[in-house]
Amino acid sequence: MEFHYIKPESTTLSGLPISTVSTCFLVSDYFKNRPSKGKPEVTSPDQVTLCPDSNQSHVSDWITDLNCRNSVSVILGRPIPELADLIEKICSHKSWEGIITRLWPKSRSLEAIFTGQMAQYIPILEFYSYKLPQVSTVYGCSESTFGFNVDPLSKPQDASYTFLPNISYFEFLPIDHERDIASIVDLVNVKQGCYYEPVVTNSFGLTRYLIGDILQVVGFYNSTPQFRFVRRKNIVLSVETEMTTEEDILKALARASLVLESSSDVMLMGFTCYADVSTFPGHYVFYWELKARAIKDVVEPDKKVLVECCSVLEESFDALYRRLRSKGGVIGALEIRVVQKGTFDSLMEYFTSQGGSTAQYKTPICINSSEALAVLESKVLSRFYSERSPPLDS
Protein backbone atom coordinates (compact mmCIF):
# COMPACT_ATOMS: atom_id res chain seq x y z
CA MET A 1 0.00 0.00 0.00
CA GLU A 2 1.35 3.41 -0.95
CA PHE A 3 0.31 6.88 0.15
CA HIS A 4 0.44 9.51 -2.57
CA TYR A 5 0.41 13.19 -1.69
CA ILE A 6 0.11 16.13 -4.05
CA LYS A 7 1.19 19.52 -2.74
CA PRO A 8 0.43 22.90 -4.33
CA GLU A 9 3.13 24.28 -6.60
CA SER A 10 5.02 27.30 -5.27
CA THR A 11 7.70 29.59 -6.67
CA THR A 12 11.28 30.39 -5.75
CA LEU A 13 12.50 33.90 -4.95
CA SER A 14 13.41 34.28 -8.63
CA GLY A 15 9.93 33.27 -9.78
CA LEU A 16 10.68 29.74 -10.96
CA PRO A 17 7.95 27.16 -10.29
CA ILE A 18 8.87 24.59 -7.66
CA SER A 19 7.18 21.44 -6.36
CA THR A 20 8.10 18.08 -4.90
CA VAL A 21 9.40 15.29 -7.12
CA SER A 22 6.41 13.11 -6.26
CA THR A 23 3.95 15.87 -7.17
CA CYS A 24 5.66 16.44 -10.54
CA PHE A 25 5.35 12.73 -11.27
CA LEU A 26 1.75 12.32 -10.13
CA VAL A 27 0.41 15.27 -12.12
CA SER A 28 2.41 14.38 -15.24
CA ASP A 29 0.84 13.00 -18.41
CA TYR A 30 3.15 10.01 -18.04
CA PHE A 31 1.43 9.01 -14.77
CA LYS A 32 -2.10 9.86 -15.88
CA ASN A 33 -1.81 8.02 -19.22
CA ARG A 34 0.32 5.06 -18.17
CA PRO A 35 -0.74 1.65 -19.57
CA SER A 36 -3.24 -0.18 -17.39
CA LYS A 37 -0.95 -3.22 -17.14
CA GLY A 38 1.85 -1.05 -15.84
CA LYS A 39 -0.19 0.72 -13.18
CA PRO A 40 1.01 0.00 -9.64
CA GLU A 41 -1.59 -1.07 -7.11
CA VAL A 42 -2.12 2.23 -5.33
CA THR A 43 -4.41 2.80 -2.38
CA SER A 44 -6.71 5.24 -4.17
CA PRO A 45 -7.85 5.71 -7.78
CA ASP A 46 -6.14 8.47 -9.74
CA GLN A 47 -9.27 10.59 -9.49
CA VAL A 48 -8.96 10.64 -5.71
CA THR A 49 -5.23 11.33 -5.78
CA LEU A 50 -5.71 14.24 -8.18
CA CYS A 51 -8.75 15.63 -6.36
CA PRO A 52 -8.25 19.44 -6.10
CA ASP A 53 -9.88 19.74 -2.66
CA SER A 54 -7.87 17.60 -0.26
CA ASN A 55 -10.04 18.61 2.70
CA GLN A 56 -13.41 17.60 1.27
CA SER A 57 -12.24 15.11 -1.39
CA HIS A 58 -15.29 15.52 -3.55
CA VAL A 59 -15.70 16.12 -7.27
CA SER A 60 -14.56 19.61 -8.24
CA ASP A 61 -17.36 22.15 -8.57
CA TRP A 62 -15.84 23.10 -11.90
CA ILE A 63 -17.21 19.84 -13.33
CA THR A 64 -20.79 20.83 -14.14
CA ASP A 65 -21.66 18.10 -16.63
CA LEU A 66 -23.95 15.67 -14.78
CA ASN A 67 -22.73 12.55 -16.61
CA CYS A 68 -19.13 13.49 -15.88
CA ARG A 69 -19.87 14.05 -12.20
CA ASN A 70 -21.74 10.77 -11.89
CA SER A 71 -18.97 8.75 -13.56
CA VAL A 72 -16.31 10.21 -11.27
CA SER A 73 -18.55 9.80 -8.21
CA VAL A 74 -18.80 6.08 -8.96
CA ILE A 75 -15.02 5.83 -8.74
CA LEU A 76 -14.85 7.96 -5.61
CA GLY A 77 -17.32 5.57 -3.99
CA ARG A 78 -20.22 6.01 -1.64
CA PRO A 79 -19.95 7.40 1.89
CA ILE A 80 -19.15 4.73 4.51
CA PRO A 81 -20.11 6.26 7.87
CA GLU A 82 -19.31 3.04 9.76
CA LEU A 83 -15.72 3.14 8.55
CA ALA A 84 -15.47 6.84 9.34
CA ASP A 85 -16.73 6.17 12.88
CA LEU A 86 -14.19 3.37 13.34
CA ILE A 87 -11.31 5.57 12.19
CA GLU A 88 -12.47 8.39 14.46
CA LYS A 89 -12.65 5.98 17.41
CA ILE A 90 -9.13 4.68 16.78
CA CYS A 91 -7.72 8.18 16.38
CA SER A 92 -9.46 9.32 19.58
CA HIS A 93 -7.44 6.97 21.78
CA LYS A 94 -5.37 8.71 24.42
CA SER A 95 -2.16 7.57 22.74
CA TRP A 96 -1.34 6.93 19.09
CA GLU A 97 1.14 4.21 19.99
CA GLY A 98 0.65 1.42 17.44
CA ILE A 99 -1.92 3.39 15.45
CA ILE A 100 -0.60 2.06 12.13
CA THR A 101 -1.37 -1.54 13.06
CA ARG A 102 -4.74 -0.54 14.52
CA LEU A 103 -5.78 1.24 11.33
CA TRP A 104 -4.28 -1.44 9.06
CA PRO A 105 -4.24 -4.73 11.04
CA LYS A 106 -2.82 -6.69 8.09
CA SER A 107 0.22 -4.45 7.66
CA ARG A 108 3.46 -6.41 7.65
CA SER A 109 6.23 -3.83 7.20
CA LEU A 110 7.05 -0.16 6.66
CA GLU A 111 9.06 0.91 3.64
CA ALA A 112 10.93 4.19 3.94
CA ILE A 113 14.33 5.85 3.67
CA PHE A 114 16.43 5.28 6.78
CA THR A 115 19.90 6.50 5.76
CA GLY A 116 21.60 9.63 7.07
CA GLN A 117 19.33 12.18 8.70
CA MET A 118 16.32 9.90 8.23
CA ALA A 119 17.71 7.44 10.79
CA GLN A 120 16.56 9.72 13.60
CA TYR A 121 12.92 8.85 12.81
CA ILE A 122 13.30 5.09 13.33
CA PRO A 123 12.17 5.24 17.02
CA ILE A 124 9.15 7.37 16.07
CA LEU A 125 8.04 4.85 13.44
CA GLU A 126 8.51 2.04 15.95
CA PHE A 127 6.22 3.90 18.35
CA TYR A 128 3.46 4.38 15.78
CA SER A 129 3.71 0.87 14.31
CA TYR A 130 4.27 -1.42 17.33
CA LYS A 131 7.73 -2.12 15.88
CA LEU A 132 6.70 -3.43 12.47
CA PRO A 133 9.76 -4.40 10.39
CA GLN A 134 11.21 -1.29 8.77
CA VAL A 135 12.37 -1.91 5.22
CA SER A 136 14.95 0.20 3.40
CA THR A 137 14.80 -1.12 -0.17
CA VAL A 138 16.80 1.35 -2.21
CA TYR A 139 19.72 3.78 -1.97
CA GLY A 140 19.71 6.73 -4.31
CA CYS A 141 19.36 10.47 -4.74
CA SER A 142 18.10 12.98 -7.29
CA GLU A 143 21.09 12.32 -9.55
CA SER A 144 20.64 8.57 -9.78
CA THR A 145 19.47 5.38 -8.15
CA PHE A 146 22.54 3.48 -6.96
CA GLY A 147 21.53 0.12 -5.60
CA PHE A 148 19.01 -2.09 -3.87
CA ASN A 149 18.84 -3.93 -0.58
CA VAL A 150 18.76 -7.65 -1.40
CA ASP A 151 18.05 -8.46 2.26
CA PRO A 152 15.07 -6.13 2.82
CA LEU A 153 14.16 -7.51 6.26
CA SER A 154 17.54 -6.59 7.73
CA LYS A 155 17.45 -3.87 10.37
CA PRO A 156 17.75 -0.35 8.91
CA GLN A 157 21.09 0.23 10.64
CA ASP A 158 22.43 -3.02 9.11
CA ALA A 159 21.14 -2.43 5.58
CA SER A 160 23.57 -2.66 2.67
CA TYR A 161 22.90 -1.83 -0.95
CA THR A 162 24.00 -3.81 -4.00
CA PHE A 163 25.03 -1.37 -6.73
CA LEU A 164 23.65 -1.99 -10.23
CA PRO A 165 26.19 -1.00 -12.91
CA ASN A 166 23.56 -0.56 -15.63
CA ILE A 167 21.80 2.36 -13.90
CA SER A 168 24.60 4.93 -14.19
CA TYR A 169 28.37 4.91 -14.44
CA PHE A 170 29.78 4.72 -10.92
CA GLU A 171 33.26 5.59 -9.72
CA PHE A 172 34.58 5.82 -6.17
CA LEU A 173 36.95 8.25 -4.50
CA PRO A 174 38.78 6.78 -1.46
CA ILE A 175 38.18 9.12 1.46
CA ASP A 176 41.84 9.03 2.47
CA HIS A 177 42.78 10.36 -1.00
CA GLU A 178 40.10 13.02 -1.38
CA ARG A 179 42.41 15.48 -3.13
CA ASP A 180 43.86 12.91 -5.53
CA ILE A 181 41.54 12.50 -8.51
CA ALA A 182 43.88 9.87 -9.94
CA SER A 183 42.97 7.55 -7.05
CA ILE A 184 39.36 7.16 -8.25
CA VAL A 185 38.47 3.51 -8.90
CA ASP A 186 35.72 1.80 -10.85
CA LEU A 187 32.97 -0.29 -9.29
CA VAL A 188 34.86 -3.53 -9.98
CA ASN A 189 37.99 -2.31 -8.18
CA VAL A 190 36.62 -1.30 -4.77
CA LYS A 191 38.00 -3.22 -1.78
CA GLN A 192 36.04 -4.71 1.10
CA GLY A 193 36.27 -2.71 4.32
CA CYS A 194 37.38 0.48 2.58
CA TYR A 195 35.50 3.79 2.60
CA TYR A 196 34.61 5.74 -0.53
CA GLU A 197 32.65 8.72 -1.79
CA PRO A 198 30.59 7.75 -4.87
CA VAL A 199 31.09 9.67 -8.11
CA VAL A 200 28.28 9.39 -10.66
CA THR A 201 27.98 10.03 -14.39
CA ASN A 202 24.37 9.61 -15.49
CA SER A 203 22.50 9.40 -18.78
CA PHE A 204 21.22 12.97 -18.42
CA GLY A 205 24.67 14.48 -18.86
CA LEU A 206 25.82 14.87 -15.27
CA THR A 207 29.54 14.06 -15.35
CA ARG A 208 31.64 12.86 -12.43
CA TYR A 209 29.38 14.39 -9.80
CA LEU A 210 30.53 13.93 -6.20
CA ILE A 211 27.49 12.76 -4.21
CA GLY A 212 28.79 13.76 -0.77
CA ASP A 213 28.03 10.46 0.98
CA ILE A 214 30.59 8.24 2.68
CA LEU A 215 30.05 4.52 1.98
CA GLN A 216 31.82 1.39 3.19
CA VAL A 217 32.19 -1.80 1.16
CA VAL A 218 30.78 -4.55 3.39
CA GLY A 219 30.64 -7.49 1.00
CA PHE A 220 29.68 -8.76 -2.43
CA TYR A 221 26.53 -10.23 -3.97
CA ASN A 222 28.03 -12.65 -6.48
CA SER A 223 30.67 -10.23 -7.84
CA THR A 224 28.75 -7.01 -7.27
CA PRO A 225 29.92 -4.80 -4.38
CA GLN A 226 27.57 -4.07 -1.50
CA PHE A 227 27.85 -0.76 0.34
CA ARG A 228 26.75 0.45 3.76
CA PHE A 229 25.83 4.11 4.17
CA VAL A 230 28.10 5.59 6.85
CA ARG A 231 27.46 9.33 6.91
CA ARG A 232 27.23 12.52 4.93
CA LYS A 233 30.55 14.13 4.11
CA ASN A 234 31.68 17.15 6.15
CA ILE A 235 28.98 16.79 8.83
CA VAL A 236 31.18 17.18 11.87
CA LEU A 237 30.90 18.76 15.31
CA SER A 238 34.15 20.07 16.68
CA VAL A 239 35.15 22.39 19.53
CA GLU A 240 38.86 21.57 19.79
CA THR A 241 40.68 18.73 17.99
CA GLU A 242 37.90 16.14 18.32
CA MET A 243 35.75 15.30 15.28
CA THR A 244 32.25 14.01 16.03
CA THR A 245 30.69 12.66 12.84
CA GLU A 246 27.08 12.17 11.79
CA GLU A 247 27.39 8.47 12.60
CA ASP A 248 28.68 9.29 16.10
CA ILE A 249 25.82 11.73 16.68
CA LEU A 250 23.12 9.29 15.56
CA LYS A 251 24.50 6.45 17.71
CA ALA A 252 24.65 8.73 20.75
CA LEU A 253 21.14 9.98 20.04
CA ALA A 254 19.79 6.43 19.89
CA ARG A 255 21.17 5.72 23.38
CA ALA A 256 19.84 8.98 24.81
CA SER A 257 16.40 8.39 23.25
CA LEU A 258 16.15 5.04 25.03
CA VAL A 259 16.79 6.81 28.35
CA LEU A 260 14.22 9.48 27.52
CA GLU A 261 11.46 7.07 26.51
CA SER A 262 12.06 4.55 29.30
CA SER A 263 12.12 7.20 32.04
CA SER A 264 9.32 9.54 30.95
CA ASP A 265 6.10 9.78 28.95
CA VAL A 266 7.62 11.86 26.16
CA MET A 267 9.42 10.98 22.94
CA LEU A 268 11.88 12.79 20.70
CA MET A 269 10.27 14.17 17.53
CA GLY A 270 13.14 16.14 16.03
CA PHE A 271 16.64 17.36 16.74
CA THR A 272 19.61 19.28 15.43
CA CYS A 273 22.85 20.45 17.01
CA TYR A 274 25.85 22.73 16.74
CA ALA A 275 29.17 23.42 18.45
CA ASP A 276 28.91 26.66 20.42
CA VAL A 277 32.39 28.22 20.52
CA SER A 278 31.19 31.74 21.32
CA THR A 279 32.27 31.22 24.95
CA PHE A 280 35.10 29.33 26.62
CA PRO A 281 35.03 26.46 26.99
CA GLY A 282 32.97 25.70 23.91
CA HIS A 283 30.34 22.98 24.13
CA TYR A 284 27.88 20.93 22.10
CA VAL A 285 24.28 22.16 21.98
CA PHE A 286 21.39 19.88 21.00
CA TYR A 287 17.93 21.25 20.18
CA TRP A 288 15.21 18.72 20.99
CA GLU A 289 11.52 18.88 20.14
CA LEU A 290 9.55 16.57 22.42
CA LYS A 291 6.07 15.07 22.17
CA ALA A 292 3.88 13.49 24.82
CA ARG A 293 2.90 9.88 24.19
CA ALA A 294 -0.72 10.74 25.01
CA ILE A 295 -2.26 12.99 22.37
CA LYS A 296 -3.66 15.75 24.56
CA ASP A 297 -0.98 15.75 27.24
CA VAL A 298 1.25 18.79 27.62
CA VAL A 299 4.98 18.14 27.46
CA GLU A 300 6.59 18.81 30.82
CA PRO A 301 10.34 18.16 30.57
CA ASP A 302 11.69 16.22 33.53
CA LYS A 303 14.94 17.87 34.63
CA LYS A 304 16.42 14.67 36.05
CA VAL A 305 15.72 12.73 32.86
CA LEU A 306 17.00 15.45 30.51
CA VAL A 307 20.19 15.92 32.54
CA GLU A 308 20.76 12.17 32.33
CA CYS A 309 20.23 12.33 28.56
CA CYS A 310 22.96 14.99 28.38
CA SER A 311 25.34 12.66 30.21
CA VAL A 312 24.45 9.66 28.04
CA LEU A 313 25.14 11.67 24.88
CA GLU A 314 28.59 12.62 26.17
CA GLU A 315 29.41 9.08 27.27
CA SER A 316 28.58 7.85 23.75
CA PHE A 317 31.16 10.02 21.99
CA ASP A 318 34.72 8.90 21.25
CA ALA A 319 37.70 8.76 23.59
CA LEU A 320 39.19 12.06 22.44
CA TYR A 321 35.97 13.95 23.19
CA ARG A 322 35.71 12.35 26.62
CA ARG A 323 39.34 13.15 27.45
CA LEU A 324 39.04 16.79 26.35
CA ARG A 325 35.79 17.08 28.30
CA SER A 326 36.99 15.36 31.48
CA LYS A 327 40.64 16.30 31.79
CA GLY A 328 41.51 18.88 29.18
CA GLY A 329 38.95 21.42 30.30
CA VAL A 330 38.56 22.70 26.74
CA ILE A 331 35.07 21.28 26.15
CA GLY A 332 32.22 22.36 28.40
CA ALA A 333 29.18 20.40 29.54
CA LEU A 334 26.87 19.27 26.77
CA GLU A 335 23.56 21.16 26.66
CA ILE A 336 20.06 20.14 25.55
CA ARG A 337 17.67 22.96 24.70
CA VAL A 338 14.03 21.88 24.57
CA VAL A 339 12.09 23.80 21.92
CA GLN A 340 8.40 24.47 21.28
CA LYS A 341 6.15 22.17 19.28
CA GLY A 342 6.43 22.99 15.59
CA THR A 343 9.94 24.42 15.83
CA PHE A 344 11.33 22.14 13.14
CA ASP A 345 8.44 23.06 10.85
CA SER A 346 9.50 26.68 11.29
CA LEU A 347 13.09 25.69 10.53
CA MET A 348 11.98 24.01 7.30
CA GLU A 349 9.98 27.10 6.34
CA TYR A 350 13.08 29.23 6.88
CA PHE A 351 15.30 27.10 4.64
CA THR A 352 12.71 26.80 1.87
CA SER A 353 12.08 30.57 2.00
CA GLN A 354 15.77 31.00 1.18
CA GLY A 355 15.32 29.07 -2.05
CA GLY A 356 15.82 25.54 -0.74
CA SER A 357 13.94 22.71 -2.40
CA THR A 358 10.91 21.39 -0.54
CA ALA A 359 11.45 18.02 -2.23
CA GLN A 360 15.04 17.76 -1.02
CA TYR A 361 14.66 19.25 2.45
CA LYS A 362 15.83 17.20 5.42
CA THR A 363 16.33 18.56 8.91
CA PRO A 364 20.08 19.20 9.09
CA ILE A 365 21.88 17.22 11.76
CA CYS A 366 24.31 20.09 12.31
CA ILE A 367 23.42 23.79 12.01
CA ASN A 368 25.96 26.34 10.81
CA SER A 369 23.69 29.20 9.74
CA SER A 370 23.37 32.02 12.28
CA GLU A 371 19.92 32.88 10.87
CA ALA A 372 18.74 29.28 11.32
CA LEU A 373 20.11 29.26 14.85
CA ALA A 374 18.12 32.43 15.53
CA VAL A 375 14.94 30.59 14.48
CA LEU A 376 15.75 27.81 16.94
CA GLU A 377 16.73 30.16 19.75
CA SER A 378 13.42 32.00 19.49
CA LYS A 379 11.61 28.72 20.30
CA VAL A 380 13.68 27.53 23.29
CA LEU A 381 11.58 26.61 26.35
CA SER A 382 14.20 25.21 28.74
CA ARG A 383 17.88 24.29 28.99
CA PHE A 384 19.61 21.32 30.60
CA TYR A 385 23.31 20.53 31.10
CA SER A 386 25.30 17.40 31.80
CA GLU A 387 26.21 17.35 35.49
CA ARG A 388 29.03 14.80 35.32
CA SER A 389 32.10 14.32 33.19
CA PRO A 390 32.09 11.22 30.98
CA PRO A 391 34.37 8.36 32.10
CA LEU A 392 37.49 7.93 30.02
CA ASP A 393 37.03 4.18 29.61
CA SER A 394 33.37 4.02 28.50
273 within 8 A of 249, measured Cβ to Cβ: yes
Residues 6+ apart with CB under 8 A from 48: 57, 75, 76
The pLDDT assigned to 383 comes to 95
One digit per residue, the tens of pLDDT, for the chain of length 394 reads 666 666 677 776 777 777 776 777 777 777 777 776 555 556 566 666 666 554 555 556 666 777 666 766 666 666 778 888 898 999 988 888 899 999 999 998 898 888 877 777 888 888 898 888 999 899 988 788 899 999 988 888 889 999 988 889 999 999 876 666 778 999 999 999 999 999 999 887 788 888 888 899 999 999 999 999 988 787 778 888 888 988 899 999 999 999 998 888 888 999 999 999 888 889 999 999 999 887 766 788 889 999 999 999 999 999 889 989 988 788 999 999 999 999 999 999 888 888 766 667 788 889 888 899 999 999 999 999 999 999 887 6
Torsion, Cα of 75, 78, 83, 88 (10° steps): 90
Q: Any idea what the Cα angle at residue 61 is, between residues 60 and 63, rounded to 5°?
A: 75
The pLDDT assigned to 274 comes to 92
Q: Rounded distance, CA 16 to CA 298, Å?
A: 41
This prediction has a pTM of: 0.65
Burial class (CB in 10 A: 0-12, 13-18, 19+), 68: exposed
Domain range summary for the chain, segments of one domain joined by +: 10-78, 135-232, 236-385
Residues 6+ apart with CB under 8 A from 73: 59
Of 284, 288, 274, nearest to 341 by C-alpha is 288
Strand 195-201 to 209-210 pairing? antiparallel
The pLDDT assigned to 63 comes to 66
